[in-house]
Structure 1
Amino acid sequence: MAAGLPGDHRYCGRRRGGERLRPAARRPAWLHRPRGRTTPPLRAVGLHPAGRRGDRRYGGRRQDQPGHTGSSPDGAPGRGVHRRSQRARSRPFARGPGRGPGRLPQVARSARRPVGRPGPGCPYGAVSRPTARQAGPDPVGQRRIRGSAVASPARYSLLGLGDADGAFAEASAAIGIAQEVNNRVGEAYALITAGRALRKLGDLEGARKTQETALSIAREMGGQDCEAQALNDLGATLVELAHGGPRRTARLRRRAVLVRIAAGVVVDHTRWGVNDGEPIGSAGGGAVGHTGRTAPPEPGGAQTVDELAARLRALHSWAGVSYREIHRRLAASRRRRGIAEIPVYNTVYRCLQPGRSRLDAELVVDIAAALLQDEALVAAWRQAHQVVAGRAADAAIVSVTDSIPADQGTFTGRSAEVAGLLAACDAGTTQFVLGGMAGVGKTQLARYVANRLIEAGHGNELQLSVDLRGFDPDRPPADPAAVLDGFLRRLGVPGSQVHALDLAGRARRFRQLMADRKAIVLLDNAATEDQVLPLLAQSPTCVTVVTSRYQLGGLPDVKCLALDVFTPAESLDLLRGIAGEEAIDADRQTAARIARLVGHLPLALAVVAGRITDSPGWCLGDHLERLTEHRERLRLEDSVEPALALSYEALPPERRRLLRLLALHPGRDLDSYAAAAVSGQRREQVVRVLADLVRASLLQPAAAGRFVLHDLVRVFACDRSRDEDRATVRRDALSRLFDHYRWAAAQAAAGYAPHEGSVRALVEDPGTECPQLGSRDLARAWLDAERSNLIAVVRAAAELGSSRPVTDISTVIHYYLDTSGYYREAEVLHECAVAAATDDASRSRAHNNLGCVYWRLGRYADGRDCYQRALDLTRKTGNRIGTGKAVGNVALGHFRLGRYLDAIDCFEQALTIFHEENDERMSSASTVRGGLGWSLLRVGRTAEALERFDESLRIARLLGDSTFEEAYALANVGNAHARLGGRELATEYGEAALALSRKLAFRSGEVDALNLLGRVRLTGGEPRVAVRLQQEALDLTIDIGSRAMTVEIRNDLGASLMAADRLDQALEEHQLALVVAQTLEDRYEIARACHGLSEVLGRQGADGAAYRERAVALFVDLGTPEAAEIHATY
């Protein structure tokens, strides 16, 4: 084997004589040994002459120790490798790009850490066998292994044994390796260990420099855990250094406290001698315990999941409790309270790690309780989680458009910047950041340049635009995962497939789809580099323009342009362009003073120019005087609010009133119908006033027929509304707005799904004007445009205690969100509805809808609980139809869990209710019959199943022509005929289902039909045709992102592949099916996968009895006929 990883006992790279290499490592010049100490020579080592026990650096232990060997066959000094690793067989490397066949380096197994996936206690860089196997033996792969293993466990174990010399040598070698492979995070961890070793050796200045370098690298790379370790170590080192002169001591004491606070350690200032000059107590590198010292960290102020997790980690450091002890306390607490669900250890560990996108509320509270041991302090953590969850939900609601907004009037100024950007784009630069203060004109410049690039052909294939809300006063910055969700949907990716991808997966898919596509992406109002980085297409044919109040210089391959305020000449040009040359040139000196008074800020200049245009009787001196007066009593920046106030006060009363009420809208943009609703006026009147506000530069046009308030204008108008409008006026305006969205959403839902007529009947006409939404296309377009506004309206109504808009909107748009795959928005919406509902009927509907969302998200236990609550509530209300739907949903839960007899009972109860209420011409009746048919099919009652499927098809056709329900029913009838041996009828129904599904672009129905046709061809002796059809179904299923459907298709495809004598591929499909089915806890598909594996292994001459026995046991437990079929075969 080639030389492995020097300095790392896990990779036994040796010379032929069994000696391991440990080369000298490159390290910074200042990283040196303390004076007076000698460095052991770095040499090839075998068995140490003294036979030091437990020291991994010396090739092992004495020859006479049980379980070890001390010599090689040629008599060389003993290799000292544990016999388990000697017995382990070499494994071939996986093939891949740039990798050839080879042998896997052996990994020594220690008693402290088993080989495999690194656990919570494993230091950074530990490499598992799968990781090593993927790396390959070639130079590139070897560098990968070395780069990921720079944090050698030997460094930690040697420090624990008190061998600081050895730990320093190991860390030095690791630093050299990390620098060689450019592994910056690994280098930081190695520097941390080197700093600890130097501190033990007494070289405090060397330790401080080392730790400061590690801290710098950690911050550069964004490694939060690494940064916390470096901060904590640096704080301890600074304390020891503080025993010098008085001035230096005080300075270092204060810095140590600040550093340790930044590391998340709660510090007692009195104990640390910062306030009163008391001697500093003993301090180690770890967190300070809490007993009798300080109050615990509080969660207040956390705005994001990461911030809450950081506060939870600070509480962990304060408590000084191990992860195992937290898990023990948590489990004991839940058992005392009778809670059956107890999280595993890893769940508790991950909850305390950075990088979380979601935290379970009860788990956070239970961990806090385990750490605090005081129930009175726990309530604050529950409240903090509610705040963070609300902001996270808001951040996930984003509106993406597939066009760049048109230029607003005549663009003035920035000629040099425009020319530079266009020239840079022609030269090959494709990523730009326009930075500058609020109101400096970043968005206007970005739109102008984007439209010029489109005219030049740079983005003629696709345009994408999104407001990232980086500095929105009312809503958190947009979540990049949600932005990518919108981008991918605009690029044609199904919502269910997008939902199956995490942030990295979405970013990767976005870049794949944008490759070689001539496109322009406008990312407006960005907050940070982290928000923007996943959204960069990084394609030479895609131009991305980012605007932000910051420069965002940390982004890769971007050209940053800092925008300043206008020059005096540009300011006058802007005033001329809006107010007219005659008015400005008549008194250029006063015009220049006005420009100076508003700081040459483009937004303020535009507002002033609009005011000048609307006041023909005023001279420029009058405007200057009024601006000077307003400057002294304002709330915003001095350059902004005088201009806004002057223009506002010059407006007629109706325009001022509309501007104030528009600022109350909880969403980002709005159309003229919403403006009419909030104002309480006719739409024709409001359209004219909106146009006047646009001309006054107080309102900005967005997409066709939509308008946006600038952030500064919104803040100004909200303040004026609070000053000038009574609270009842504001409440009435919002009430009208809520009613408008309730009614419009109901109309859109009726157009989107006409057969769901009962939903529309829940909402009465409030008398507000509403767009025409009768067709499915118009309804879909309105729902897509208003989706984020609807969620914002629901959240605003919930905060104001107005329950009716929350529950009605939740009910009417549920079908749209469900079929479109907007599961995150649906979860937020329905959770609000559950909390806001004031009557049992509304609570029942909300729980039903939320249960459906949980089901889609794979949270089956939560979904089952919601369905059961909905059933209990509908029974209380006496709503028989609602009870029937709820019972049907509970039956679906039983079916998924393999309780087929319970499912049959529930489905039949639901049908009895529908029959008694004479309400069988509804989609739920068709769905329930379909579910009953499948339950009967699973237990072998095929003839009865066919009857139910026929009834389901009949009802589906009564709902209207070409519905999703009809496509499902056709495939179901075909499946029943296939089980009964009617191949011709099965083929007929399958082809009809396939044609209808493709007509409706109904991909799930297409999958069912293709799989059905594949099974029919397999029973007809055409396995190759079956494989082709089922492979097409599998590809579609993967695109859709449904894991449950994927399992079924893989098992069917495996059977077809086995019939086609493609045994290796069949084995792989059944193995993949088994893995996913076990994740989903789908016992039926687990049994099918095991049976398939036993069959394939038998054909290959291997023993598949264990798989077969497991399959039979599961089929017997499920009560399905497959168990008898297998017994009959064997």
Structure 2
Amino acid sequence: MTDQAVDTDDVRLSAHPAANGHFLGRTRELKELRADIERAGLDTLSGRKVPRARVLLIAGRPGSGRTALAEELVRQVAERYPDGVLRARLSEPDGTPVPVERTARELLAALDLPAPAGAAEDELTEALRTALAGRRALLLLDDAAGTDQVDALLPEAPDCLVVAVSGGPLTGIADVRPCTLGGLDTKSAVELLTGFTGSVRVTVDPRSAETLVEACGGHPAALVLAGGWLAARPQAAVSDLAKRLRAGTDDSNDGTPLARVLRLVYAQLPGSAARLLRLLSLAPAGLVDPHTASSLAGCSVDAARAILDDLVALGLLRAMDSPLPQYDVPGCLHPLLRALAESQERPAELQLARARMLERTVRLLQSCRAITETDSPQAREKLSAMPREVRFPTPRAAADWLRIRRPALLASARLAVADGELDTLARRLLSQLVRAIVAHVGTQAAAPDLYGVHGLVLDVAERRGLPREKAAALLNLGDLDAQTGRTRDALARYRAALDAGREAHDPYATGRAMESVGGAYQELGDYDRAADWFGRALAERLARGERGQAARLYGRIATAHTYAGRYGEALRNWRAAVACHRKGGDVPAHARALSELARVQEYAGRPEESLRTCREAVEWARRAEDARLQAALQLRLADTLERLGDPASAHLHRAAAARMLEEEPPESDERLEGDVSACEIRSTSNED
């Protein structure tokens, strides 16, 4: 159970091609942290039962190697926690705290546990605590922005361990002693440089190496950039870089060691690489792929990937362990790159770069969805008209891209909506994101992601005064609320959608909202209001001459009356539904409506009428070639005949039903699996 967030301050040597892959320094800190795991807490000393997991805090500035230390500690003690390691990053690269609800949802997903779409923060954190109760698991909470984030995620399980990484103390969490990081010791810092430069340049001039470490303040991220600069210049001596950095300290605005080294490295980049580097501060969630870089810089995908690889070699980016080329912008560099972008790019240029990036994402999502529709000639033609670089070779490749890029895609959607000046582009992006997710993942499996996306659509619609889109978003959110049992929340959404639909003069949204309001009341057991709202929706459909939809609504009205015990009204509406289906020529629906009519006749104490209607329904089901419905009707006939005192005929009908089910081709089982009314005759339609 490992996953999730990546560390932003990792300075392991394995992050660089020249490195030898072992952790350096921090021996004292590791010893103290391991001892702190065994230390008796205040609760133990006072004789109280330990209520929560032990929390270890590693505090330090971004780039100080705090995440690398946390990962090394986790590696050393992971075997004590057989239920696995969970990872979560609690801040975005720009420092924005990640909502606790999103973090809890991702941790539950890592545990392979369901997290209902739209569930509140308290519900999700409680589910997480319940899941971890009785387990021995280790949580690594990286880049915590505040106490509240960590406190909400703490397991109430004393056998769990939480390793939190933060910029400062977590005031409010009891019995936590921070391990505060400064610079690396000189020996480890020199060894870190040696991993980039090779041993010769350090051995011939050890004093310059120590001077360089001092100029970098022992700051691991600064040392990585210095090592990358030296590795890219095999002819340069360590003393050359040390002199440059010492000269830079004369500047009164020199800033931190990391800022000084970055400024030096940045100044010697080629113009195209320097521009791309500063524009990477716009990358959603700090995640970059060649398409993102290409659209930001306005260059080809191949050129962008070459520049990205060069930046990795310099320690300015980190290549992620991914089947697709993907890179991570270190969080410690993000504010510095953003400052460079704002100082050297006009606001209009930044906005244009952001728009190009989002437009490329829209094109990729269109291609991702279109590859699933190749059975259609129009879809194939549209796909072939797309540029080669945004086309996917197979549906599997598109699905893999969607899965791997999911965090970046969702972050792109949030970024587009938060921008406020790209709402037209944001609407297109949200629309294509929903369609691609549904095409590859399905509505049910993707419900949590879709809930968030529909919420973003609602934000844009309200901000721009778009009632039609507002109605659509509210209807979608209401449906997801209803599916997860939040019926009253769904009812409020549907009523708001009705108001928006009326404002937009949108008959579809208005009718759909009325029907949904009726469905919510039916779920709440208020059958009178349910029938009333279904009736309003029916009037809308009849006024537009939509016979098929009207027939379905007659059935929903009849269902509400049946639940309320008003069988006369139910029979009248089922007969109206039968007449509509007959006029419309829908033979399967006609048969099902007759079967429901027979059911209500039986409820109403009219077995002879029910028998006649059921036989008629069998004949229509035979015409529709619906074997499952025929079998179900034969069983109903058998039950009715038994009640009428004819067991011999009942036995014959049961035998006929058994033969129909045995003779039915296996593939039809899958076809009918989602059609509840075909497998089991019910008083509600499958669309209810």
Same fold (TM over 0.5): yes
Q: Distance in 1 between matches of 2:118 and 2:248?
A: 51
- Correspondence for 2:430: 810
Q: Is 1:439–1:601's contact at 8 Å kept on the other side of the alignment?
A: yes
Structure with bigger RCO (C-alpha 8 Å, 6+ apart): 2
Equivalent residue runs for 1:429-448 within 5 Å: 431-448=55-72
Offset at residue 661 of structure 1 (A): 1.4
Equivalent residue runs for 1:898-917 within 5 Å: 898=529, 900-904=531-535, 906-907=537-538, 909-910=540-541
Q: Is 1:458–1:543's contact at 8 Å kept on the other side of the alignment?
A: no
- Correspondence for 1:737: 357
Q: Distance in 1 between matches of 2:359 and 2:272?
A: 22
Q: Is 2:581–2:587's contact at 8 Å kept on the other side of the alignment?
A: no
What SS does the corresponding residue of 2:288 show, helix, strand or coil?
A: strand
Aligned-pair identity in percent equals 17
Does residue 415 of structure 1 match 2:27? yes
- Correspondence for 1:311: none
- Correspondence for 2:617: none
Pair member with larger Rg: 1
Q: Is 1:463–1:520's contact at 8 Å kept on the other side of the alignment?
A: yes
What SS does the corresponding residue of 2:285 show, helix, strand or coil?
A: coil
Q: Residue 476 and residue 542 in structure 1: after superposition, are their counterparts in 2 closer, same or farther (change >3 A)? A: same
Q: Residue 929 and residue 446 in structure 1: after superposition, are their counterparts in 2 closer, same or farther (change >3 A)? A: farther
- Correspondence for 1:985: 632
Does residue 670 of structure 1 match 2:288? yes
Q: Distance in 2 between matches of 1:912 and 1:827?
A: 30
Q: Residue 509 and residue 624 in structure 1: after superposition, are their counterparts in 2 closer, same or farther (change >3 A)? A: same
Q: Residue 770 and residue 888 in structure 1: after superposition, are their counterparts in 2 closer, same or farther (change >3 A)? A: same
Aligned AA (2:239): G
- Correspondence for 2:644: none
Equivalent residue runs for 1:916-927 within 5 Å: none
What SS does the corresponding residue of 1:547 show, helix, strand or coil?
A: strand
Aligned AA (2:62): A
Aligned AA (1:866): A
- Correspondence for 1:681: 299
Aligned AA (1:786): A
Q: What CA deviation, in whole Å up to 9, does each residue of 1:971-1012 have, x standing for no partner?
A: 9998777546569627899x99xx999989x9xx79x78997
Q: What CA deviation, in whole Å up to 9, does each residue of 1:939-971 have, x standing for no partner?
A: 4123445688999998999xxxxxxxxxxx999
Offset at residue 724 of structure 1 (A): 2.8
Aligned residues: 573
Q: Residue 979 and residue 822 in structure 1: after superposition, are their counterparts in 2 closer, same or farther (change >3 A)? A: farther
Selected match of 2:508 from 852, 871, 884:
884
Aligned AA (2:363): W
Q: Distance in 2 between matches of 1:635 and 1:745?
A: 44
- Correspondence for 1:143: none
Q: Residue 599 and residue 884 in structure 1: after superposition, are their counterparts in 2 closer, same or farther (change >3 A)? A: same
What SS does the corresponding residue of 1:667 show, helix, strand or coil?
A: helix
Aligned AA (2:71): R
- Correspondence for 2:556: 934
Offset at residue 476 of structure 1 (A): 2.9
Q: Distance in 2 between matches of 1:552 and 1:652?
A: 42
Equivalent residue runs for 1:482-631 within 5 Å: 482-496=102-116, 499-503=118-122, 505-517=123-135, 519-539=137-157, 542-552=160-170, 554-556=172-174, 560-631=178-249
Offset at residue 780 of structure 1 (A): 6.0
- Correspondence for 1:449: 73
Q: What CA deviation, in whole Å up to 9, does each residue of 1:1053-1074 have, x standing for no partner?
A: xxxxxxxxxxxxxxxxxxxxxx
Q: Residue 851 and residue 417 in structure 1: after superposition, are their counterparts in 2 closer, same or farther (change >3 A)? A: same
Q: Is 2:5–2:88's contact at 8 Å kept on the other side of the alignment?
A: no
Selected match of 1:873 from 504, 509, 514:
504
Q: Distance in 1 between matches of 2:379 and 2:557?
A: 28
Offset at residue 501 of structure 1 (A): 4.8
Offset at residue 693 of structure 1 (A): 1.6
Offset at residue 765 of structure 1 (A): 5.5
Q: Distance in 2 between matches of 1:954 and 1:468?
A: 55
- Correspondence for 1:785: 407
Aligned AA (2:149): Q
Q: Residue 821 and residue 623 in structure 1: after superposition, are their counterparts in 2 closer, same or farther (change >3 A)? A: closer
TM-score with structure 2 setting the length: 0.69
Q: Is 1:806–1:836's contact at 8 Å kept on the other side of the alignment?
A: no
Q: Is 1:404–1:451's contact at 8 Å kept on the other side of the alignment?
A: no
Offset at residue 884 of structure 1 (A): 3.2
Q: CA RMSD in A?
A: 4.9
- Correspondence for 2:653: none
Q: What CA deviation, in whole Å up to 9, does each residue of 1:655-693 have, x standing for no partner?
A: 212211111224342333322322233333322322222
Q: Distance in 1 between matches of 2:496 and 2:164?
A: 45
What SS does the corresponding residue of 1:867 show, helix, strand or coil?
A: helix
Aligned AA (2:457): H
Does residue 651 of structure 1 match 2:298? no
Q: Distance in 1 between matches of 2:597 and 2:667?
A: 19
Q: Distance in 2 between matches of 1:707 and 1:834?
A: 33
Q: Distance in 2 between matches of 1:979 and 1:804?
A: 51
Q: Residue 744 and residue 586 in structure 1: after superposition, are their counterparts in 2 closer, same or farther (change >3 A)? A: same
Equivalent residue runs for 1:63-212 within 5 Å: none
Q: Distance in 2 between matches of 1:645 and 1:639?
A: 10
Q: Residue 914 and residue 614 in structure 1: after superposition, are their counterparts in 2 closer, same or farther (change >3 A)? A: farther
Selected match of 1:864 from 485, 491, 495:
495
Q: Is 1:524–1:546's contact at 8 Å kept on the other side of the alignment?
A: yes
Offset at residue 602 of structure 1 (A): 0.9
Q: Residue 495 and residue 740 in structure 1: after superposition, are their counterparts in 2 closer, same or farther (change >3 A)? A: farther
- Correspondence for 1:833: 460
Selected match of 1:847 from 445, 461, 471:
471
Q: What CA deviation, in whole Å up to 9, does each residue of 1:419-457 have, x standing for no partner?
A: 554576689986422111222111122233334555xx4
Q: Residue 790 and residue 478 in structure 1: after superposition, are their counterparts in 2 closer, same or farther (change >3 A)? A: same
Q: Is 2:559–2:683's contact at 8 Å kept on the other side of the alignment?
A: no
Q: Distance in 1 between matches of 2:84 and 2:373?
A: 30
Q: What CA deviation, in whole Å up to 9, does each residue of 1:1009-1042 have, x standing for no partner?
A: 89978999xxxxxxxxxxxxxxxxxxxxxxxxxx
TM-score with structure 1 setting the length: 0.44
Q: What CA deviation, in whole Å up to 9, does each residue of 1:911-930 have, x standing for no partner?
A: 886969xxx9xxxx7xx875
Q: Distance in 1 between matches of 2:406 and 2:545?
A: 34
- Correspondence for 1:363: none
Offset at residue 751 of structure 1 (A): 6.9
- Correspondence for 1:115: none
Q: What CA deviation, in whole Å up to 9, does each residue of 1:510-566 have, x standing for no partner?
A: 122124545442211012222101212344554432110113264346564222211
- Correspondence for 1:706: 326
What SS does the corresponding residue of 1:546 show, helix, strand or coil?
A: strand
Q: Distance in 1 between matches of 2:55 and 2:295?
A: 41
Q: Is 2:284–2:412's contact at 8 Å kept on the other side of the alignment?
A: no
- Correspondence for 2:525: none
Equivalent residue runs for 1:105-504 within 5 Å: 401-402=3-4, 408-409=14-15, 410=21, 411-418=23-30, 421=33, 431-454=55-78, 457-458=79-80, 462-469=84-91, 474=94, 476-496=96-116, 499-503=118-122
Aligned AA (2:272): E
Aligned AA (2:27): S
Q: Is 2:371–2:392's contact at 8 Å kept on the other side of the alignment?
A: no
Q: What CA deviation, in whole Å up to 9, does each residue of 1:164-188 have, x standing for no partner?
A: xxxxxxxxxxxxxxxxxxxxxxxxx
Q: Distance in 2 between matches of 1:550 and 1:796?
A: 28
Q: Residue 886 and residue 629 in structure 1: after superposition, are their counterparts in 2 closer, same or farther (change >3 A)? A: farther
Q: What CA deviation, in whole Å up to 9, does each residue of 1:631-650 have, x standing for no partner?
A: 35586742221111112123
